[in-house]
Amino acid sequence: MIQFQEVTKIYPNGVHALKNINLQISSGEFILMIGESGAGKSTLNKLITREEKLTSGELFVNGIKVSTIKEKRIPQLRRSIGMVFQDFRLLSKMTVYENVAFAQETIGVPINLIRDNVFHALKMVGLESKVNAFPKELSGGEQQRVAIARAIVNRPKLIIADEPTGNLDSKTAWEIMKVFEDINKLGTTILMTTHNKEFVEHTTKRVILIENGSILRDHQRKVRTS
């Protein structure tokens, strides 16, 4: 579903942000991407969403050849990806319902279908009871749940979560992780950037370590059977 083949990204200022990346992510995987600030994690995400163009190599995402994608097909690529950010990025003048519904409206979902889809997404994140609240009336964890509902409501194949628990306390971070795990169990691929050491220490997920533009480590710890 995501395939980087010898991908290099050099920014116009000469920074080699990614160097000869080879990476394959299969449908349904849950990946934690770690690495110090400046390592190249955001650049990797931005190549997937085609916010940045790669310099050389090939990249395929959800069946689309992103390395040579035409401008007019970029919206189709982006519709297949849900985004979740550290700072939630909710619209403050809209209610929870409206924030999630807005994602459906922008892709032209018929109005009679939107309500069911929004309630379904809010149920997935455990927030149906807050449909009429405004973001400022919610805790950080609740706001992130709304952002996750917005990311899944259009049923993307892939979710890119960029440090989604960076602004949350440890307990809330684990609750948010559980929401992502529930979504992943239903088949959505998740690529999560994180600095959360607890997640990495207590996981059996595939962990990709990026350092200085290269993949330094890529492994999955086996589940203990004894």
User: Which residues of the chain form contacts with ligand ADP (CB under 6 A)?
Assistant: 11, 13, 15, 17, 35, 37-43
CB of 106 to ligand ADP, least distance (A): 26
- Assess contact for 33 and 194: CB atoms under 8 A: yes
Q: In the complex with ligand ADP, which residue's Cβ is closer, 142 or 163?
A: 163
| Beta carbon of residue 14, minimum distance to ligand ADP (angstroms, whole number) | 8
The residue (of 35 and 164) whose beta carbon lies closer to ligand ADP is 35
Of 20, 13, 85, nearest in space to 46 by CA: 85
Of residues 3 and 214, the one with the C-beta less far from ligand ADP: 214
For 42-69, letters b (16+ CB in 10 Å) and e give: bbbbbbbbbebebeebebebbebebbeb
Name the minimum Å distance from CB 211 to ligand ADP: 9
Alpha-carbon radius of gyration of the chain = 18
| CB closer to ligand ADP out of 35 and 135 | 35
Q: How far is the CB of 153 from ligand ADP (least distance, A)?
A: 26
Q: Are strands 81-85 and 206-211 parallel, antiparallel or unpaired?
A: unpaired
